[in-house]
Structures are given as C-alpha cells and as structure tokens.
Structure 1
Amino acid sequence: MEICKHDQFCGGCIHQGIPYEKQVEMKGKEVIRLLDAKDVVCEKFLGIEGSPKQYAYRNKMEYTFGDQVKDGEMTLGMHQKGRFMSIVTVDECQLVDPDFNLVLKTVLEFCNEQGYNFYHKKSHEGLMRNLIIRKGERTKELLVNVVTSSQVEFDESAFVNCIRKLKLNNNLVGVLRTINDGIADAVNCDELKVLWGRDYYMEKIMGLDFKVSAFSFFQTNIEAVERLYTEALALIENLEGKTVYDLFCGTGTITQALALKAKKAIGVELVEEAVEAAKINAELNGLDNCQFLAGDVFDVLDHIDEKPDVIVVDPPRMGIQNKSLSKIVDYGVKQIVYISCNPKTLAENLQFMQLYGYEVKSLKAYDNFPMTKHTEVVCLLEKR
C-alpha cells in the first residue's frame, strides 16, 4: 500500500514507508535491548510475530474536532505530531475500516453545514468535541458516538438521519450522543443518549461472546490479540482443576478463556465499569466459575480467600508497582504468565521478579499494531 496521504502531519504511524518485515525486526531488537538494559535473563527468546493484518485492523477510533491552523476551517481527526493544538482531518486513514473514513468525512460535512463550531481547549467554548467509532470485527456491527458540550443546540434527529442513510459495509447498530461539559481534554461522559439503536456492539473472541458497551475497554486488533491470548494460555501446564488469578483483567476476556478449562478464574480490575461488563459477559457465556472483583490489585489481593495455583497478569502501560508485585511473587506459584503492552515497564518488572526467585523461561514479542511504535510481549516465569 502507498504511504498514507496524512503521513506528513498525523502523529499516529511512525513507521510509514518502512517495509513491514523491517518494522517487525526493529521492534524485536528493541525488546531485546530493553531486557538487556535491565539484566533480564531469558532462557528462550521466541522472536517476534507480525500482525495477521497490517492495514484496517483497528476496531476503535477516537477522533477530535479542532482546526489545523489557528482560526482555520474545522477539522476532525488526530493530533498533529509536535503540535498538540492542531488537529489533522484523517479521512483516508489506512489503519481503519473504510466505513470509519466515510463516517468521519460525513460527520465533518454535517457539522459544517449546520454551522456548528468546535469546542476550544483554551476558551472552553464550542459544541463539537469528539467522534468515537467502534466496530465488531467478527460481527460487523458498527457504533457511532458523537461527543458534544451542551452549550449549543444540537440537531439529534438530523444527525441520526445523516448517519443512517450512509451506504456502509458494516451493520450500523447504534447512534449515540455523549454530553461532556468537563474542561479536561479527555472524553468524559456526563450523559449518554441513545439516539437510535443500542449503546453496545457484539464481538466474538476465543469462542466467547462479548457485549462491548460505548465506553468499555476492548482489545483493538482482534485477530492479533486472539492469537496472542491463545499462545499465552497454552503456556500454562494442566489448567484443569486449578484456581487462576487474572490480574488487571479489563473486561475479563482472558479470565473467561481461562474459566473454560480451570476450576475457578478470579479476575481483578480497577475500573468498576469494566468489572460490571465482565460479569455480564460471563453470564452471557454461561460461565459460573468466574469471579470478578473491582479495586486496586494491591488492596484486593488481601481479601481473596482462595489461593492461586497460577497467576496471569496483563497490566496497563505503566506496568505493575513494586508493592503489588511483591504480593504477587509472595504467593510463590510455580507459573506466572505476564502479558505486556509496554516492553520498557515489563523489563523493569522482570528484573524485580528475578530477585524474588522467578526465572523467565520463555518470551515472545508480537507486533499487534503495525506502523505504530507499540509492541506486545508474552512471557512465562517459573519459580526457581
């Protein structure tokens, strides 16, 4: 595919124009460099695997309304690299389904026709803030969510008609409006209005069904993450009859996959909405051997009666704090599977775990986000 037309300004894809095999090789070398810098000893480095899809793999985009030049025409898209106040319209992005580009272009035209202005980060005045599009990769269900302030009247029925008449490849299941009057430059929800359809889409992963609501976290590249999870769970010896902790479990995708074989799977997650979503999905899949607990891992671990036989961790980019890591290694379980979205904090955590008697038996990197700087890693640790 040709270099993206937005490459000069958009800050999303830093590896545009580099052959894909080369991108993957660079990311693999960077993982090794970060591990070496922290003296992490790895018994088996299993290399790095590329993504099944290099383009149109993202199932969610959060676009921002703004302008690219001061007092210029309204734009809708991504932050310009090196210039946080500037927004670049990305209506031909290669990382998303063509439907996303069509919806973006249409929404921007609609807002211009209506004479709506964007919400200004400094003056905190204006109507249009964000556009969020989400898609079920396996179900082809599409959810469109426009984020506005409540400062100016917004014609909701005209917006619904504008979206519903589009000729889309996917099946539109919901048109939403989120009211956000917070001054922070982040998508916060003061009120969620279902203008048409429903406020969630369905997805299938690991043979399980997931109901993904407007704001719940879900994996971005479904094909790639399914392979990663399948290989990660295959590292665990004889899951049958075991109690497994899944820490930082999000909406419980891994927890539920573990529960298909384990005696019991206990998921812990800080975000309460994610825990509620996990409970709904476990019920949807008829799993009664899952338990989900909301709270900080450091606090929650003190209140779980069943001790684990195996632990799976999948922390956010900041990794695991040492105080929580101490509690995790204190269980002394034979195997810990660490799934990481940030090799830098992974290396720091592995260095700490080595001091407490854990050896890195195997480590494999995955490029689940082609063209971008991000790399995922799965490693198996065993108690010496």
Structure 2
Amino acid sequence: MVEKNKDYILDIVSLGYEGEGIAKVDGFPVFIKGALEGEKVKVKIVKVNKNFAFGKLIEIIEESEHRKEPVCSIYNRCGGCSLQHSSYEKQLDFKTKRVEDCLVKIGKLKDVKVNPTLGMENPYRYRNKVQLPVGENNKEINIGFYAPRSHDIIDMKTCHIQHEEADKVGEIIRYWMKNNNIKAYDEKEHLEKKNKADLKNRVRHIMVRKGYKTGEVMVVMVTASRELKGKEELVALLKENIKGLKSVVQNVNSKNTNVVLGEECITLWGSDTIKDYIGEFHFNISPLSFFQVNPDQTEVLYGKALEYAGLTGEETVFDAYCGTGTISLFLSKKAKKVYGVEIVAPAIENAKINAKENGIENAEFIVGEAEKVIPDLIRDGVYADVVVVDPPRKGCGVELLEAIGKMGPKRIVYVSCDPSTLGRDLGILKEMGYEAKEVQPVDMFPHTSHVETVCLLTSIK
C-alpha cells in the first residue's frame, strides 16, 4: 500500500490527461505533476485516495530526452501552462495519444484512424485574448494568473503564450493604479460584507484582445462599480504606449461571482469593437464576443471541418452550437444552405451581422438549444445532408444525437474541445449507425494539455 509522506523511487510509465506523469507502485497509480514518460524520479506521496495517489516531484534521477527548460520564470507556480517542460514534438505526441486513448477507453472504438496532431510552427505568443485577475498582497498590486486550483494570484510581468501588448498593458495599469490610489477588488471582503463592501475604484480583471491579422487592440478594465477615477489618465497612457489601440472599455461587474465579465460595457475611448479575420472572413469582436483565441490554428481546424463536410454546393447543413457563426461562414462557401443554432442570443445577433458584412446570404441563424431547435426543424420538414456539431466541453445532449441519428444525414462532422466527451458521443453515434472514419487533432493551445479535435462520421446504412 502506498503511504502518505513517504518517499519513493519510481519509473514514469505514461502521462495522464492533464500531462502529469503516471507511475505504478505494485499496480497502484501515482500521479506526479512535472514528470515525463520514461523518467526515473524521486517522489514524496502527498495524498492517497482509494484508487490512486498524488506525488510531489522531489528529484529527477534519470531525465527524459524530451525534457526542456521552461521559458517562463513562473512556470512552476502559474496555473496556465502545464507542458512547457516537454519538447513541443512530445507535446503533440501526447495529445494524439490522449485522443486515441479516449476513443478506445470511453467510446469503445478500436479501429478509428487518428492522424498526428497538427502543431504550430512557432508555438508561442499565439493567444489573441488574455484575462488577468488583479489583486493585492502586502499592499502591492498583483496582476497575473491564478495558481493551480486556487484564487491566489501569481504576479506576472510577461507571458510567453499571450501577445506582447498584453504585457505592456499590465504594467501600464499597475503604474496607473498606484498613481491614482486605486485598489484591487477583494472577493473575500465582498463575500463577508456583502452590500456594505466598498466597490468604488476597485479593479477586478484586465482583458486585452488583439486582432492578429489587423493589429487592432482592445483594452477592457473590469471594475466592481461604475465609479472609477483617473479614466482620462488611463486612456492617455494607453494611447501613448500601445501600438494599434482601437478601443478602451470599462466593464462593470458588481456581483460576487467567479464570472469575469459583467453585462454592462462603457466605451471610454475609440470603437465598441475591433476587427479580425479567420481566413477570408472578417469578424467584429466586442468585449463579450466569443472568438477563438488562436486564429492561425482556428483556420487549420475549420479548414479540416470543411474538408470533412465534403460539400458540393447542393447540400443543406445544420451547424449546432454555432456561436458567432464562424464555422457557418466557412461552410456557406460550398453549401446550398446553412442553419446555425446557438442558445446565446447575443452570439446569434453577432452571427447575423458577421454574415451580412461578409456578403453571405445562404446562412440562417436561430436562437435556442440545439437539442430542441434541430428536432423542431426536422419536424417542420427541414432535413440536413451534413450536420456539424461544435459543442461545449460537456459534449452534445443525448436529445440532439438521437434527433441527428433519426434524420440520417450522410455525414456528421464533430468538432470537440474535450476528447473524453468526444469519445462518449462517438460511442453513442456508433449505436445509431454512424462510423467514425477519421479523426484530426489540432493543437490550439500549445504548452497546455488541451487539444481540439475534428472527426468525420459517415452513415453505415
């Protein structure tokens, strides 16, 4: 039996879904953050559960040839990246194996072709959006990222996966807060004092968005109330120092919540939106808009989805969980008609605007749950030759999968952000007569354990 607080010398035999090393003690799994497959390590057991344990990496006795020195100085404390200690080649291999593992273990699919994960030529500075929590420690302003599984802010001066303007904005706002005696929001104080908490001149988060193809930059200050002194000085500092600045926005979030953005946006300077491109299509991005954070890899992902759809110009397509219509626009180039469905009403409004501004006339967007809207469309006699689904992390609702199965489209293209729920849903679709023909992982988030996947399914009937 594995004993807590005891040291062990262990061989790392594989990696877990979060990229942590896995060793075995008499067949009992031990998860060790920071260890790589093939290494021999010294570990202290810190927690023992019924079926597995967690160990803290004490020493690397035999090092993997794929181990790399992380480029980030706060890598071991920050909760953002989890794979910087591994070569990029091995990161891609890990993500391919993770998808394969989920298909076999969860979906019970043994003979599906899983292609090698498509990576980036330069896997740094790829994110076009950053959200930085703001706090205080010993009267010093902390701007950075949360430590793993906590709300402790790790102060950060530079992040190697965010765009450079975000680093500059963070330092400007740090200086501006000190100069104007503006405090950081304290969630504990808000929870304890509730309505009596002083929310004036309190900064909660900083969000910075950049259009990678246009160079346009949006800075969003998330504050605990409308009251915020020194706004003019902040705008002046940003205008003077941030190249491509197009928009400065104050977002008000007075609720005691973990949600970053509130519903109210006040444009302090410039435009309400910035613009960016994915492929040939341009999109207007507001503070509250969803937009993929890695535009280069998004183009790769959507291009593969379009390829798998196999459109000739005669097909009707359902795009479930369409968001702001990004995939719908790609599909509209080669489809006869596209129906996009999304539960978030503002996203559908954005989708309609995006379609109009890009001259797309064969796409229709509907507000509602895909699990309800698509069965309604089918009952009304609207059928799809191809269905594309791009669900949230929890995967597709069973009602939607059943409706798709009964309708019987020729092809289904499943875009997934979680291999576990992908495996589950592909197993369900197999029971409905759909065979997973090919799976393509795409590395949208280098140096993290996350992987996007697009899968082609065809009707067995």
Range of TM-score over shorter length: over 0.9
Which runs of structure 2 are paired with 1:274-293 in the superposition (5 Å)?
A: 274-293=347-366
Shifted more, 183-192 versus 324-333: the winner is 183-192
3-state secondary structure, aligned to 2:250: strand
- RMSD (Å), alpha carbons: 1.5
The CA deviation string for residues 53-105 of structure 1, in whole angstroms up to 9 with x for no partner, is: 300000001111113x5x452211211124x2311122210001211101111
TM-score, normalised via structure 1 length: 0.95
Alignment partners' CA distance in 2, 1:187 and 1:23 = 30
2:122 and 2:364 map into 1 onto residues whose CA distance is 34
CA shift, 1:329, in A, is 1.6
* Partner secondary structure for residue 360 of structure 1: strand
1:46 deviates by 1.7
Q: How does 1:143-154 map to 2 (within 5 A)?
A: 143-150=218-225, 152-154=227-229
Match of 1:29 among 97, 121, 125: 97
1:182/1:188 contact within 8 Å kept? no
Contiguous gaps of at least 5 residues in structure 1: none
Gaps of 5+ in 2: 1-68, 191-196
- Does residue 333 of structure 1 match 2:402? no
Q: 1:102 aligns with which of 168, 172, 189?
A: 168
**C-alpha displacement at 1:152, in angstroms?**
4.8
Q: Is the aligned partner of 1:301 residue 2:374?
A: yes
The letter for the 2-side match of 1:174 is S
Distance 1:363 1:42 in 2: 11
What is the CA–CA distance in structure 1 between the aligned matches of 2:214 and 2:94, rounded to whole Å?
34
Where does 1:1-384 land on structure 2 (aligned, <5 Å)? 3-38=71-106, 39-67=108-136, 69=137, 71-82=138-149, 84-124=150-190, 125=197, 126=199, 127-150=202-225, 152-168=227-243, 171-304=244-377, 305=380, 306-384=382-460
Q: Match of 1:382, SS?
A: strand
The one-letter amino acid of 2:83's match is: H
Amino acid at match of 2:99: V
Measure the CA separation in 2 of the matches of 1:166 and 1:156.
16
DSSP-derived class of the 1:337 partner = strand
Superimposed CA distance per residue, residues 90-126 of structure 1 (whole angstroms, 9 cap, x where no aligned partner): 2210001211101111111211221111111122144
Q: Please report how far the alpha carbon of residue 150 of structure 1 lies from its aligned counterpart in structure 2 after TM superposition.
A: 1.7
Contact 1:128 1:149 in 2 (8 A): yes
Once the two structures are TM-superposed, the CA of residue 2 in structure 1 deviates from its matched residue by 5.2
User: Which gives a bigger RCO, structure 1 or 2 (Cα 8 Å, sep 6+)?
Assistant: 1
Report the TM-score when normalising by structure 2.
0.80
SS at match of 1:50: coil
Greater gyration radius: 2
Amino acid at match of 1:241: E
Change (3 A) 1:167 1:332: closer
Distance 1:280 1:186 in 2: 26
| One-letter amino acid matched to 1:158 | E
Confirm or deny: 8 A CA contact 1:93 1:101 kept in the other structure. yes
